[in-house]
């Protein structure tokens, strides 16, 4: 089969690889009908996430048709069914899964010895990601083996297109969780840094959850126009001061809720000297992440507010003003997404027409064009916001 394979930093190729096979009774094989390039795929593309290995198949946002199931799937999944595959692999039985903390499932990381060394305790296995999370082959491929398939799936009801439901596997629940963990109240201002795909989903989630006003921060006009479409007030950080404008919009008090939908690769510019400092340190392998947004959020957030972090961070960050955070009594909530915690509710909202996540798709391409599309997405060329690939 064909698959997009990581061969090293910025080196992705559409390779011919052997077909996946059932290895465990709880496995299923899925023919991928649609998959997407996620913002966190770019962190892998740039080799910023430790423990990627040449030959890893990329992709953690995918859906398709079940073509084979193992004997242990126990009738919970059948051949021919259409499913979205959550990027977090879940057993559904461990203590964390029973609590709904699916992204920290205790049993699905097949390389948990690595995770325990790196994180202290294991987290869930993830598709198409670092070997710290199991190194499971991803879904930017024609077929994928889904471990723990009896629990790791979202069934697609009749009548919904791939484009409507594909993002249930990652960016939609990720944006939703970012907003939900803000405990939004009707009087709240929610500020969202980054109007990429997750940011767009977080903006719409904050709107659906009843925020008084949502403020979207970016510098790309096409992304800001998409944020405005959802009713957000926009701030172009190339043209105005984020801190001053946010204070102006909140009568000098700052937003109650701040969402970081950027993560490790904050934009670097001469106007923000700390971003140059971070980039230099990152290049010298002295810092993993560029946390400019975190610093700005901590500074501008209203005291006793909530900082929600769906953006991916990979390791060590520098110059985080913990003194500000502590004295202001800020609450931090973060983590990989507990996808299946949210998907029933989100699928219902899609079926009811409350939201149609396909609004975010700007480019649809063949799998073979994947290596080129990574660059288009990375360089934000052709007003690219979200790429969907059709194997």
Partner 1 sequence: MNLVSNITRSAGDPKVLKTGPSSLTGWDRLARNLGWFGIGLGIAELFASRRMARSLGMRGQEGLLRAYGAREIMSGILSLSIDRHIGLWSRVAGDVLDIATLRRAMRRPNPRRDNVGLALAMVLGVTVLDILVAKSLSASRARNSRQWRDYSDRSGFPRGRQLQSQPQVPAAAGR
Least Å from the CB of residue 327 to partner 1: 27
Strand, helix or coil at 199? helix
Least Å from the CB of residue 148 to partner 1: 15
Least Å from the CB of residue 383 to partner 1: 4
CA distance 60 to 125: 11
> b vs e for 8-37, b when ≥16 Cβ sit within 10 Å of the residue's Cβ?
eeeebebeebeebebeeebbbbbebebbbb
CA distance 359 to 282: 34
* Phi-psi group of 355: left, alpha or beta (phi > 0 → left; psi -120 to 50 → alpha; rest → beta): beta
Least Å from the CB of residue 385 to partner 1: 7
CA distance 301 to 190: 10
Residue closer to partner 1 by CB (options 300, 362) is 362
Least Å from the CB of residue 303 to partner 1: 24
Residue closer to partner 1 by CB (options 137, 291) is 137
Residue closer to partner 1 by CB (options 230, 325) is 230
Q: Rounded to the nearest 5°, which phi and psi values hold at 255? A: -70, 140
**Nearest partner of 170 among 78, 325, 60, judged by Cα:** 60
Least Å from the CB of residue 333 to partner 1: 10
Residue closer to partner 1 by CB (options 327, 381) is 381
Residue closer to partner 1 by CB (options 63, 385) is 385
**Nearest partner of 294 among 314, 280, 311, 282, judged by Cα:** 311
Residue closer to partner 1 by CB (options 220, 324) is 220
Residue 332 Cα distances to 254, 255, 305, 317, angstroms: 16, 14, 9, 15
């Amino acid at each position: 089969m064909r698959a997009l394979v990581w061969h090293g930093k910025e080196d992705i190729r559409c390779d011919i690889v052997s077909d996946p096979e059932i290895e465990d009774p709880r496995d299923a094989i899925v023919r991928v009908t649609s998959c997407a390039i996620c913002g966190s795929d770019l962190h892998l593309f740039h080799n910023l996430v430790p423990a990627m290995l040449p030959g890893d198949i990329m992709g953690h946002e995918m859906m398709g048709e079940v073509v084979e199931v193992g004997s242990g799937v126990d009738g919970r999944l059948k051949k021919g069914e259409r499913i979205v595959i959550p990027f977090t692999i879940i057993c559904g039985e461990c203590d964390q899964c029973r609590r709904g903390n699916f992204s920290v499932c205790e049993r699905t990381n097949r390389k948990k010895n690595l995770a325990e060394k790196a994180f202290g305790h294991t987290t869930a296995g993830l598709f198409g990601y670092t070997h710290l999370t199991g190194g499971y082959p991803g879904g930017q491929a024609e077929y994928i083996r889904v471990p723990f398939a009896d629990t790791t799936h979202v069934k697609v009801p009749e009548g919904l297109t791939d484009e409507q439901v594909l993002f249930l596997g990652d960016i939609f629940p990720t944006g939703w969780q970012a907003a939900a963990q803000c405990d939004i109240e009707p009087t709240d201002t929610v500020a969202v840094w980054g109007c990429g795909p997750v940011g767009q989903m977080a903006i719409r989630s904050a709107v659906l959850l009843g925020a008084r006003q949502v403020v979207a921060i970016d510098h790309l006009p096409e992304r800001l126009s998409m944020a405005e479409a959802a009713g957000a007030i926009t701030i172009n950080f190339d043209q105005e001061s984020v801190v001053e404008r946010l204070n102006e919009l909140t009568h000098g008090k700052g937003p109650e809720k701040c969402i970081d939908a950027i993560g490790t690769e904050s934009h670097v510019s001469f106007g923000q000297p700390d971003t140059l400092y971070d980039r230099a340190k990152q290049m010298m392998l002295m810092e993993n992440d560029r946390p400019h947004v975190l610093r700005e959020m901590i500074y501008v957030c209203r005291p006793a507010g909530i900082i929600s972090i769906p953006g991916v961070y990979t390791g060590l960050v520098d110059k985080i003003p913990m003194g500000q955070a502590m004295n202001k009594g800020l609450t931090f909530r973060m983590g990989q997404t507990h996808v299946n915690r949210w998907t029933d509710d989100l699928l219902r909202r899609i079926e009811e027409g409350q939201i149609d996540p396909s609004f975010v798709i700007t480019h649809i391409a063949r799998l073979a064009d994947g290596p080129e599309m990574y660059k288009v997405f990375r360089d934000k060329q052709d007003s690219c916001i979200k790429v969907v690939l059709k194997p």
